Structure 1
């Protein structure tokens, strides 16, 4: 890669990082392309050369968040502990990342639902979108394989299906539960924390040998 190409790549990554921070702090709908260009120190025309649509930048921000999660989960999976303990820590990780008084990540994903289909409009954007998710999925699937080897997970379960079902549903529920409002009585009974720890217990009970 030439020096010029490296500079372009670094500028693109910087734009994505700044856009991600702005989307999380102020909301996808609030932030405009000019806000991102100003914060990144580039002209609006330059920004549009990298990202012709705001929607593509939202997708890039989502991929950046997914890549960060893959790195974090990868560190958990890389530990010398049992597969069962790794799954417990992965569930705790998703509880932790959604535990934000400002609900930034939960609100981001709620808004992202409006943009997800747009990824398919651009082959390049869609390839990056799938790659980010495949990276995380690949890391998770290694835990199921380890569980078969170390005996810490039940042997009669389809552990690959379990891992993907668990993470997909637990992560979605973690975000949704933080945003759900109830009346005064139900709010004290159905706190997001209580629901998530109960759901975690259900998953862990299912995979115990």
Structure 2
């Protein structure tokens, strides 16, 4: 790779990291492309050469966040503990994301859903996002294989399918429930903590060896 190409990649990475922080701190809807250009110290024309639409930048930020999550979960999977305990820690990892008083990740992914369809127009940026998701999926498949070997998970179900389904849906649930509002009379019954712990217990009970 030429020095010029390295510089372009470094600049792109800097743009994405800066945009990610702006999106998380201030909300996707409140950040304009000019804000990102100003924060990264590049001209607006330069920014548009890298990302012709804001949606492409949003999906690039999402790819980075997904990569970071994959790294965190990969570290859990690499531990020398049972697969059951690893799944328990992964669920706790997603629950911990709801402890942020500003709910930055939950709000980001809620906004991302609104931008994803337009972002699909860009093969390059959307392929990057799909690659990040496949990286996470492969880590989860590794965990499924570990569960088959160490005997800490039940053996009579399709564990590959189950673990990917579990993590995908539990992560979505944590974001959704953290943003949900309820009638005052139901707030204690439907508290976020109670719902998340209940769902966690249901999943963990299901995968214990029978």
What TM bracket, shorter-length normalisation? over 0.9
CA distance in 2, matches of 1:120, 1:39: 26
CA distance in 1, matches of 2:159, 2:118: 32
Post-superposition offset of 1:119: 2.8
1:120-162 superposed Cα distances (whole Å, 9 cap, x missing partner):
2121112111101000000011111111100000010110111
CA distance in 1, matches of 2:29, 2:102: 16
SS, match of residue 29 in structure 2: coil
Paired residues of 1:33 and 1:54 also in contact (CA < 8 A): yes
Question: How do residues 120-159 of structure 1 correspond to structure 2 at under 5 angstroms?
Answer: 120-159=120-159
Question: How do residues 1-209 of structure 1 correspond to structure 2 at under 5 angstroms?
Answer: 1-209=1-209
Paired residues of 1:19 and 1:36 also in contact (CA < 8 A): yes
1:57-93 superposed Cα distances (whole Å, 9 cap, x missing partner):
0000000000000000000001011110100000000
Post-superposition offset of 1:4: 1.1
SS, match of residue 129 in structure 2: helix
Give the alignment's TM-score, normalised by structure 1.
0.98
Post-superposition offset of 1:185: 2.1
CA distance in 1, matches of 2:120, 2:77: 31
CA distance in 2, matches of 1:187, 1:101: 17
CA distance in 1, matches of 2:97, 2:174: 9
Paired residues of 1:119 and 1:129 also in contact (CA < 8 A): no
SS, match of residue 166 in structure 2: helix
Which runs of 5 or more structure 1 residues have no equivalent in the other structure? none
SS, match of residue 29 in structure 1: helix
CA distance in 1, matches of 2:163, 2:135: 14
CA distance in 2, matches of 1:200, 1:157: 18
Number of aligned residue pairs: 209
